[in-house]
Amino acid sequence: MGSGKTTSFDIAHKAGVSQATVSRALRDSPLVNPKTRERIKQIARELNYRVDRSAAGLRSQHSKTIALLLYEDPTTDDSQINPFFLSLLGHITRTAAAEKYDVLISFQQLSDDWLHEYQISNRADGMILLGYGNYAHMAAKLTRLSDEGARFTIFGLSTADLKGHTISGQNLEGGELATKHLVSLGRKRIIFLGDASDEHPEFKLRYEGYCKAHQEAGLPIDPSLKILSENQETAGYEAVAQLLESGLEFDALFAVTDLIAFGALKCLRKSGIKVPQEISVVGFDDLPAASYFSPSLTTIKQDTRLAAEALVKNLIGMIKGEDVQSQQLPLFLKIRGSCGGRKT
């Protein structure tokens, strides 16, 4: 059943139980006493036990189920789900259905036993992770899952440490595209609004694109124009309110997400500032609400259909034992009322 040096017989010997009991415990069978089950799982982790997929396939059929695990984000409503990930759900479900897979939707519990709870227990053949909170806190957990042979894909990241597991947009290019558009409108004092720290590597790449566009245009990169905001509409509103109160001069704003941009637009409108005549605004994601906002939001579009297909197909490739590659998907500029000019 196992692969490498450690087998389920090794676990059985150390636990003082039969190999059949080990197999049942790792599948979370109710036939095994809960304390015994937990002790066996702990020994499996200590011995760095990994499931032999070929042998597991001989023992039982795949569940034909994908676990879709959402990260609980702070939101202004009770959903606790980032609206961008909500827009991915339908496409993921349809793509999985076309491949004859069911989708089990749940929240991430930050458990140390994801591999056992879903893959080994046969609840799901693999996992799609949408969101991860603070990457600095999650990096070690994700790397360990990869090392243990867990089958998972995650959206948003692009890191060599998780080869084959990541699907993301071309974030650096997207940040550059947004900023170049603002520069083309004659804007020279462009606010970057968001968190570009190591905790949010995709936002950091968008800031690097912002900086690259400044350098190519011969514009100075002014650190005072980099304004911190959490990824919430209320946070965007509060950040711009403080910015206006400070008296700092600016003529454009690039928000690292549409959510932040929505808050910024509300604050500018309430303050009597005309958008785009006085200040142009660009967001990132192209949430459904972006085209209905007032003014409608110019933004960088992430294609949620392509993202969903890549997440599902890479995961199914892993389930089948294929070698898959991480992907960075193309992004597009959607010009609307918050920047003026020709709409797309």
**Would you state the pLDDT for residue 286?**
96
User: 267 and 239 in one domain?
Assistant: yes
**Would you state the pLDDT for residue 54?**
45
**Would you state the pLDDT for residue 58?**
41
Distance, CA of 30 to CA of 14 (rounded, Å): 21
Other C-beta atoms lying within 10 Å of the C-beta of residue 291: 14
Residue 191 located in a structural domain: yes
Residue 335 located in a structural domain: no
Which residues is 139 bridged to in the sheet?
Answer: none
Into how many domains does the chain fold? 3
**Would you state the pLDDT for residue 146?**
86
User: Cβ distance 288 to 282 under 8 Å?
Assistant: no
Burial 18-40 (b: 16+ CB within 10 A, else e): eeebbbbbbbbeeebeeebbebb
Task: State the CATH number of the domain containing residue 155.
Answer: 3.40.50.2300
* Structural domain harbouring 52: 8-59
**Would you state the pLDDT for residue 211?**
98
pLDDT < 70: residue spans in the chain: 1-5, 50-61, 74-80, 109-116, 121, 341-344
Distance, CA of 38 to CA of 294 (rounded, Å): 55
**Would you state the pLDDT for residue 115?**
67
**Would you state the pLDDT for residue 74?**
65
Residue 189 located in a structural domain: yes
Residue 338 located in a structural domain: no
The position carrying tokens 């017989």 is: 9
The position carrying tokens 């694109």 is: 209
Q: Residue 64 has which token pair?
A: 């034909």
Task: Write down the H helix ranges in 148-199.
Answer: 171-184
Which residues is 169 bridged to in the sheet?
Answer: 329
**Would you state the pLDDT for residue 57?**
45
